[in-house]
């Protein structure tokens, strides 16, 4: 097992226009562990096409209770050994997000979302990345799709945002993401590609900065944000290079799954490995995984699922062999994350002891939904903050925003609402503050 160590001092505040925020220096790689504080991290796993509650609630369970005597349903049976660390929640709603095929940014933002509509505020994952102990790259988003879509659109923004009109891009090509995170410590072709890309980005930054001065004043601010994006990307690359000895311990091994994937799931697995390595190395404290990339597409031919994209949403999920395969694949990914974090000592326990995984969908319970029920699974207790080993049935009168308020409270932010003003809350929220049923 590898011990995390404090590498740098300072504070970073995000990633940059190309990734959705602004990167300040000097940054941290991980955070100091004292007797009073421990690093925390959070992972959001968003599956498209909905999350039917019948695929996660044990048969016969109707009310809030312990999961100890119940067997988990087949789609999530990979979590059976981790049942004491699981909390299944039913009865949240997202009526105000108008999800339909997807709530897009509204799924993590708790506001109305739609295809092609920009975010109206920051999403919960970005908010948490700023509340949690700061790291080199506070927020990393990875998106899984068909191999064709991941190749033609290696980055896409549909789920996360740093503010109104400020989307954060998901990385979908593992080769590009590997170059960004570990290109500076690689050899051979990867190192050459990394250096060529770095030189190009430096040139673009300089060229863009010089050209921007001749623009009308009304355009200079907008253009300046574009230039800042290149500065931030280049700055991140330099900072990662400064901790190269540390990163070598965590960089995944490159194999043919990266360069010659047989199925899209090869790239899904590579992206997951990179996300895990970013967490265990301390590069990031917040990971968002978009299976289906927040849209209505997605493919899992590597699981033997021939149907893909929009058609999958028209297949009922309970007892369906296709959705059983997809959900089991998701759960194996969750187990892989937990095992990896459990394998890294931190404080008096392991990294997983201070981590929370939030598994849900960007589209409530099904593809064509009004958002009346938005099931969620939590794994881990976030340093003892959340109840585990149980099922909670809510009354359907509190929105997903209340869950996000609860996450912020557990992370140390004293808030009563998240992205919901009094007028909206009067219509869609029966209470305020965190969901006390979830907290210890």
pLDDT beneath 70: ranges in the chain: 1-37, 186-235
Beta pairing class for 166-171 and 155-163: antiparallel
Distance from C-alpha of 195 to C-alpha of 201, rounded to nearest angstrom: 10
CATH class of 41-97+112-160+251-372+382-428: alpha beta
Domain ranges of the chain: 41-97+112-160+251-372+382-428
Q: What pLDDT, in 10s, does the model give residues 259-294?
A: 999 999 999 999 999 999 999 999 999 999 999 999
Tallying the residues shown for the chain, one arrives at: 440
**CA distances (Å), origin 184, targets 173, 243, 299, 435:** 18, 10, 32, 44
User: What is the predicted pLDDT for the residue at 111?
Assistant: 98
User: What is the predicted pLDDT for the residue at 215?
Assistant: 53
Distance from C-alpha of 247 to C-alpha of 249, rounded to nearest angstrom: 5
User: What is the predicted pLDDT for the residue at 36?
Assistant: 45
pTM over 0.85: yes
């Amino acid at each position: 097992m590898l011990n995390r160590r404090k590498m740098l001092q300072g504070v970073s505040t995000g990633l940059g226009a190309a990734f959705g925020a602004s990167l300040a220096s000097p940054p941290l790689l991980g955070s100091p562990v004292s007797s009073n504080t421990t690093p925390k991290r959070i992972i959001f796993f968003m599956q498209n096409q909905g999350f039917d509650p019948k695929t996660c609630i044990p048969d016969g369970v109707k009310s809030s209770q312990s999961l100890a005597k119940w067997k988990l349903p087949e789609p999530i049976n990979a979590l059976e050994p981790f049942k004491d660390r699981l909390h299944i929640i039913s009865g949240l709603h997202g009526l105000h997000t108008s999800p339909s095929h997807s709530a897009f940014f509204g799924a993590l933002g708790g506001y109305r979302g739609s295809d092609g509509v920009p975010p109206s505020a920051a999403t919960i994952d970005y908010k948490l990345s700023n509340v949690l102990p700061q790291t080199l790259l506070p927020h990393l988003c990875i998106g899984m799709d068909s191999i064709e879509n991941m190749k033609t659109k290696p980055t896409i923004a549909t789920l996360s945002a740093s503010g109104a009109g400020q989307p954060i891009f998901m990385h979908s090509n593992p080769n590009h993401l590997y170059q960004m995170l570990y290109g500076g410590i690689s050899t051979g072709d990867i190192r050459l590609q990394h250096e060529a890309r770095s030189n190009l980005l430096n040139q673009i930054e300089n060229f863009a900065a010089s050209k921007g001065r001749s623009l009308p004043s009304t355009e200079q601010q907008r253009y300046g944000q574009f230039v800042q994006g290149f500065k931030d990307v280049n700055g991140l690359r330099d900072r990662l290079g400064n901790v190269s000895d540390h990163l070598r311990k965590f960089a995944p091994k490159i194999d043919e799954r990266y360069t010659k994937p047989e199925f899209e799931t090869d790239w899904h697995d590579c992206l997951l490995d990179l996300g895990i390595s970013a967490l265990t190395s301390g590069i990031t404290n917040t990971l968002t995984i978009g299976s289906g990339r927040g849209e209505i597409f997605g493919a899992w031919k590597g699981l033997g699922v021939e149907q893909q994209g929009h058609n999958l949403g028209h297949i009922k999920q309970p007892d369906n062999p296709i959705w059983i395969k997809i959900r089991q694949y998701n759960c194996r990914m969750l187990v892989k994350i937990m095992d990896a974090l459990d394998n890294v000592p931190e404080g008096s326990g392991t990294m997983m002891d201070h981590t929370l995984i939030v598994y849900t969908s960007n589209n409530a319970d099904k593809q064509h939904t009004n958002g009346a029920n938005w099931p969620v699974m939590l794994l881990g207790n976030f340093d003892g903050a959340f109840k585990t080993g149980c099922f909670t049935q809510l009354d359907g009168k509190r929105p997903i925003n209340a869950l996000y308020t609860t996450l912020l409270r557990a992370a140390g932010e004293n808030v009563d609402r998240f992205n919901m003003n009094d007028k909206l809350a009067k219509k869609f929220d029966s209470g305020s503050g965190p969901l006390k049923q979830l907290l210890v």
